[in-house]
Each structure stands twice: as C-alpha cells, then as structure tokens.
C-alpha cells in the first residue's frame, strides 16, 4: 500500500492529519510517505490549497481532514 500525504510547510491542517495518522501507522503497520508540494509546480497544480491530501495508490482518500472510516476501509480492502 502506497499512502502519500501531500502537504505544505507551516500547515496546521497538515500537521493535524499527520498526528491523526500515527495510531493507524502503529496499529496496522502502514507506511505513509509525506510529500511536500511547496517546490513542486506539478503537485501545486494538482493539489493547490486542498492540502493535506492523503492518497492511496494515486487515488485521493481525504482532503483537509482525515476520514478514519475511509482509511480503515482502504486498509482492509488493500491488505488481502
């Protein structure tokens, strides 16, 4: 499973989502790569001010806030 958290520097929502992800990382052993978009014009074009954006296998799961139910469903669906 390739989870990516797209974020920006000095972004309180990004930091909050990262904190909310910690229990899922610990409990389910998932890996979440943090990708800053600040210096990546293509990523800024894609995500702009929608950060944080959590994706799985290039599909958007959550924008702005973590949806725990969606995350759990994605983990369950992709762990088989």
Residue 1 has pLDDT above 90, yes or no: no
At 48, the pLDDT band (50, 70, 90 cuts) reads: confident
CA angle (24, 13, 76) in 5-degree steps: 25
CB 10 within 8 A of CB 59: no
pLDDT for 18 equals 96
How large is the average pLDDT for residues 39-60?
Answer: 93
Given the candidates 3.40.30.10, 3.90.1150.10, 3.90.440.10, 3.40.50.880, the CATH classification of the domain at 3-67 is: 3.40.30.10
With bands split at pLDDT 50, 70 and 90, how would you rate the model's confidence at 79? confident
């Amino acid at each position: 499973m390739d989870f990516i958290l797209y974020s920006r520097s000095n972004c309180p929502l990004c930091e909050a989502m990262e904190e909310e992800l910690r229990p899922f990382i610990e409990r389910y052993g998932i890996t979440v790569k943090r990708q800053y978009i600040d210096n990546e014009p293509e990523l800024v074009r894609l995500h702009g001010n929608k950060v944080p954006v959590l994706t799985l296998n290039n599909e958007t799961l959550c924008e702005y806030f973590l949806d725990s139910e969606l995350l759990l469903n994605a983990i369950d669906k992709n762990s088989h």
